Amino acid sequence: CMQHLQLNVDQSRAERRIKLQSDFLNGGLTGAFEWRTLGVTLRRFGHRLLPSFVPMPEQEKEGANNLDFYLYVMNTDTIIHALGMEMSVPKRQTLKGYIHDATNRYELQACVPSIEKGNTLWRDVTLSVDNSRGEGRLAFSTTKQILNTDSTKLVVGDVAGLFTTVARNDSLLTNLRFGEVAADHDDADIQIATHLTRYRERPLIGVHIEPSAFYLGDSLWTVADSHIEYNAADTTLSVYDFDVRTASQGIHVDGMASTRAWDSIQVQLQDVDLYYLLRFIELEEALQVTGRVSGWATLYSLFSTPMFAANLYIPDGYLNSSYLGEVSARATLDREHERIVIDA
């Protein structure tokens, strides 16, 4: 329980000062600002970078806020225990930054030294948001470690990741880098360009995925040049030749998703290891299916009454380590009972 809580508020004509001290949180807020107009200030920053996506009504263009803030989170073990979460977080996390309307500058930095859950350790979890170069920039980075189950906790795997996105002139330029720290090959480097416009007063979002490559285990996967477009006015999602593959495996996606029953997205699978696909499906723990799958799946009317059908083939399938041989399967969605029906 909390043993200590102290809140000091000092306000003059020029600025406000708020200071919080407690067993769990220490923080401060200083500056000349109005609570009711902070949302306007944030929208103003967004409008300067993405005017088509963040409209700015004329009546909200007035007012200015300038403030500096910091927050230290303490005794997180107590908080996590009270929430019933099974993880370990160090005793101090940091959040600090500023918002200055007068100079059109803002910055936010958050840092968590480590997060441990089970045998997975996330180190140096950092998030930063700023516009120091005249453009909005968001960056997130961390290093993931897989630990041994013994008490020595020797690291047996190390993966570092960095996500950055830059906003300017109604565009988002996103870069995702990740890879094994001790690997002898290059990190993955995926580039995505997003352009924001408006169509019939609703957002129109175009995404260009540039040719790139990444390692998954020891396999080199390549991503082909492709485009994705979302039209909020028509409620349509169009995918143009999204293709990711390795030497022997491949996934190809093309088509349109909408509220209409005749629009569909086609997914082609070529000798894909079921391990990658089943990670996204919640199977019973006692059910383990392995092998490589080829075939197709079609998804209809995703934004109204979702339906799908699939026809799959596994040349050498295993069920709970028992050899099944060749497996042919058709899968459909049973909406009435909210389940997937597989005939194999």
- Whether 313 shows a pLDDT value over 90: the answer reads yes
Phi, psi (rounded to 5 degrees) for 288 = -125, 115
- pLDDT for 305 equals 84
Phi, psi (rounded to 5 degrees) for 51 = -60, -30
- Whether 184 shows a pLDDT value over 80: the answer reads no
Q: Tell me the CB-side half-sphere exposure of residue 202, using CA atoms within 13 A.
A: 8
Residues, the chain? 344
- pLDDT for 70 equals 94
Phi, psi (rounded to 5 degrees) for 55 = -65, 155
Q: Which of the pair, 84 or 165, is modelled with greater confidence?
A: 165
Q: Which amino acid is at 62?
A: E
Q: Which amino acid is at 22?
A: S
- pLDDT for 153 equals 41
- Whether 158 shows a pLDDT value over 80: the answer reads no
* pLDDT per residue as tens digits for the range 267-310: 999 999 887 777 666 555 656 778 899 999 999 888 888 888 89
- pLDDT for 252 equals 97
* pLDDT per residue as tens digits for the range 211-229: 998 877 677 889 999 999 9
- pLDDT for 251 equals 95
Question: What span, in angstroms and rounded, lies between the C-alpha atoms of 298 and 313?
Answer: 15
Residues 6+ apart with CB under 8 A from 322: none
Question: What span, in angstroms and rounded, lies between the C-alpha atoms of 212 and 280?
Answer: 23
* pLDDT per residue as tens digits for the range 249-272: 999 999 999 999 889 999 999 999
What is the SS3 assignment for 142? strand
Q: 27-36, 235-244, 283-292, 331-340 — which is least confidently predicted?
A: 283-292
Percent of the chain with pLDDT strictly greater than 70: 88
Where is mean pLDDT largest: 91-95, 173-177, 236-240?
Answer: 236-240
Q: Which of the pair, 334 or 71, is modelled with greater confidence?
A: 71
CA quadruple 275, 278, 283, 286: dihedral, nearest 10? -10
Question: What span, in angstroms and rounded, lies between the C-alpha atoms of 13 and 6?
Answer: 24
Alpha helices by DSSP H, 197-299: 274-278
CA quadruple 258, 259, 261, 264: dihedral, nearest 10? 20
Among all chains, which residue has been given the structure tokens 């699978």?
Answer: 269
Question: What span, in angstroms and rounded, lies between the C-alpha atoms of 223 and 176?
Answer: 13
Residues 6+ apart with CB under 8 A from 11: 17
Q: What 3 state SS string does 305-334 have?
A: CCEEEEEEEEEEEEECCEEEEEEEEEEEEE
Q: Name the strand (E) or helix (H) holding 77.
A: helix 76-83
Q: Tell me the whole-structure pTM to 2 decimals.
A: 0.74
- pLDDT for 152 equals 40
Beta-ladder partners of 17: 10, 30
Residue 27 tokens, joined: 């923080």
Which is it for strands 264-273 and 289-290: parallel, antiparallel or unpaired? unpaired
Question: What span, in angstroms and rounded, lies between the C-alpha atoms of 73 and 80?
Answer: 12
